[in-house]
Structure 1
Amino acid sequence: MTLLFLLIYFAIIMTVIEIHVILFHLTGLKKKVSRFQVISMMTGTGYTTGESEFILSHPFRRKLGIFLILFGAFSLAVIISSVSSLLEDDLRTRAILYIAAFVICVFSMLKAPFVQKFLLNKLEYKSREIEEDTTTLPIREVSLKEEDEQVFEFQIKSDSPLINNKMTEIIKEQDSVDFDFLMIKREDVKIRKNIEETKLQSGDQLYLFGKKQVIEKTFTKEK
């Protein structure tokens, strides 16, 4: 019975992983990145600082991440307990079968294209934030000449009108541009060359240096 229980529970774990891979993919992550991050959070290993920013920067991904971390810790306790003791109550095996059937049903539903489309619309609506809310990044090794000059992080949301626009197109109506483009971070790729001519994509993270009021004025006009 113990072996059967473990096999069923491992099936549940694999199904939960695939469910969250789909959910992370719907929020804009590539499937290979999603799968690695899901397994990393469940096992508590391999959670790299670079890719973890994709989870931390998105409110819905953070909620999924919290569940995965807790579920992973619980699953580890269950597996250790199952291996170290014999299961002699058939009711427990029947109960886990019901749980497995439920999880598989949820997974099957999430595989349906119309369900994914519905969830995508709901997730985009709930996770939409004000795009122009810039976040100040601490700089300890740079001596700034003016107190109001800082480095800002600006993330392109999936519904942003800035998508497919170049930097030169965004700032063309400005009389003067009193900030610099430092970098575009696109998943695990950092773009530093020809930034002004690079077309923006959903999920891009822009790193800008300059005066906060000038940066906000430039990008709030693109609502």
Structure 2
Amino acid sequence: MNLVFMLLYFIIIVLVIEISVTLLKLTGLKSTVARFQVISMLTGTGFTTDESKSIIDHPVRRKISMFLILFGVFSLAVIISSISSLLTDDLRLMELSIIIGILAVLAIFVKTPFLNNRISNKMRSEMHNHYELWEHPIEDVLFLEEEDVVMEIDIYEDSEFIDAKAFDVIPHGADINILFIESGEVKIRKELYEYKIKLGDTLILYGNKKEIEETFSKEIEVKKKKSTSE
């Protein structure tokens, strides 16, 4: 009976994963990222990747993640209890079967196009009506086009941009914006137009990924080589 209980409970876990992945996808998260983060939160492994920041910075995704973390802790306790044979003969298989049935129906419903659109619109409405723009994830606010990125560019010792004024390094008409410059512990934003770039500065850029990579190709190459050597 313990094996039957474990099997049924694992089915519940799989259904919870599928429902959570679908809900996270409806908030705009990529399918592969959503699945990895759901499993990470459910198992309590806590991978601190850049992708996890997209969960933390999004109010709706945070609520889903809180449920997954709590459900994961509860599930671990249930599984350990079952494996340790601490459960009585009354494993409540009927109740588990009913829960599985409900979750299976819910998993099917949330994947239907009609309900997908309704939930997605509801989440967008929730974000728009109850949260200020600065509370939205950066990709929702800034990434207007598919190729838009925010990128850090480090100025190395042989860079051609040393001693150049910040806005002179951006080609005329290029889809590139300097958000601010990190110079040591100082973040420069107000004086950008007159600021001269120094060795060790980091430019925080926003714009078209391809144009940024073409303009700062040497700096990006040096950074890649340093990362490889380390």
Taking structure 1 as reference, are residues 89 and 51 closer, same or farther at Cα in structure 2, changes over 3 Å only?
same
TM-score calculated relative to the size of structure 2: 0.62
Say which SS state the counterpart of residue 123 (structure 1) adopts: helix
The number of residue pairs the alignment matches comes to 163
CA distance in 2, matches of 1:12, 1:121: 27
CA-atom RMSD in angstroms: 3.2
Partner of 1:93: 93
Partner of 1:130: 132
Partner of 2:119: 119
CA distance in 2, matches of 1:126, 1:4: 41
Partner of 1:208: 179
Q: Structure 1 unaligned runs (5+)?
A: 136-153, 168-183, 199-205, 213-223
Taking structure 1 as reference, are residues 207 and 38 closer, same or farther at Cα in structure 2, changes over 3 Å only?
farther
Taking structure 1 as reference, are residues 116 and 197 closer, same or farther at Cα in structure 2, changes over 3 Å only?
same
Q: How far is the alpha carbon of 1:97 from its aligned partner?
A: 0.6
Say which SS state the counterpart of residue 179 (structure 2) adopts: strand
Partner of 2:80: 80
Q: Amino acid of the residue matched to residue 157 of structure 1?
A: D
Partner of 2:214: none
Report if aligned partners of 2:58, 2:135 keep a CA contact under 8 Å in 1: no
Partner of 1:163: 144
Q: Structure 2 unaligned runs (5+)?
A: 154-168, 181-188, 192-230
CA distance in 2, matches of 1:55, 1:104: 25
Partner of 2:56: 56
1:67 aligns with 2:50: no
Q: How far is the alpha carbon of 1:156 from its aligned partner?
A: 4.6
Say which SS state the counterpart of residue 35 (structure 1) adopts: helix
Q: How far is the alpha carbon of 1:84 from its aligned partner?
A: 1.0
Say which SS state the counterpart of residue 45 (structure 1) adopts: coil
CA distance in 2, matches of 1:106, 1:93: 20
Percent identical pairs in the alignment equals 43
CA distance in 2, matches of 1:79, 1:89: 15
Q: How far is the alpha carbon of 1:87 from its aligned partner?
A: 4.2
Name whichever of 46-55 and 59-68 sits farther off.
46-55
Partner of 2:175: 197
Report if aligned partners of 2:27, 2:123 keep a CA contact under 8 Å in 1: yes
Partner of 1:172: none
Report if aligned partners of 1:2, 1:87 keep a CA contact under 8 Å in 2: no
TM-score calculated relative to the size of structure 1: 0.64
Taking structure 1 as reference, are residues 54 and 165 closer, same or farther at Cα in structure 2, changes over 3 Å only?
closer
Q: How far is the alpha carbon of 1:13 from its aligned partner?
A: 0.2
Matches within 5 A, 1:97-112: 97-112=97-112
The structure that has the greater radius of gyration is: 2
Q: Amino acid of the residue matched to residue 45 of structure 1?
A: T
Q: Amino acid of the residue matched to residue 36 of structure 1?
A: F
Runs of 4+ in structure 1 off by over 6 angstroms are none
Taking structure 1 as reference, are residues 12 and 134 closer, same or farther at Cα in structure 2, changes over 3 Å only?
closer
